[in-house]
Copies of this chain bind each other. A is one copy, B any other.
């Protein structure tokens, strides 16, 4: 086993452990945004797409690299934006300004 491969394996294993631990009991309400947030994180694949694009030298490879770039970019950009939108729903202050009316008038 090369030193490089071992490093990668060690990093992989430790990251798996971090991933297992970072999720503790989450309220069901947050399941969807959390899934969406994790989805955005694997948008990091765009980094890989950028790197391979620079190796491409012929049509087939240009096409594959272009696809990877587009798909990866959609994942990462869309992922973060849609998660953020979902989460606005949780940070919203009392928008109904008449919700706190005092009792009476009935």
Contact = CB atoms under 8 A, between A and B. Distances in A.
Interface of A: 3-4, 7, 10-11, 14-15, 17-18, 21-22, 24
A10 B10 CA distance: 9
Contacts of A18: 14, 17-18, 21
A62 to B, nearest CB: 32
Contacts of A22: 21
Given A3-B3, A7-B7, A14-B15, 14 more contacts: A3-B4, A3-B7, A7-B10, A10-B11, A11-B11, A11-B14, A14-B14, A14-B18, A17-B18, A18-B18, A18-B21, A21-B21, A21-B22, A24-B24
Contacts of A14: 11, 14-15, 18
A35 B24 CA distance: 20
Closest 7 A-B residue pairs measured CB to CB? A21-B21, A14-B14, A7-B7, A24-B24, A17-B18, A21-B22, A18-B18
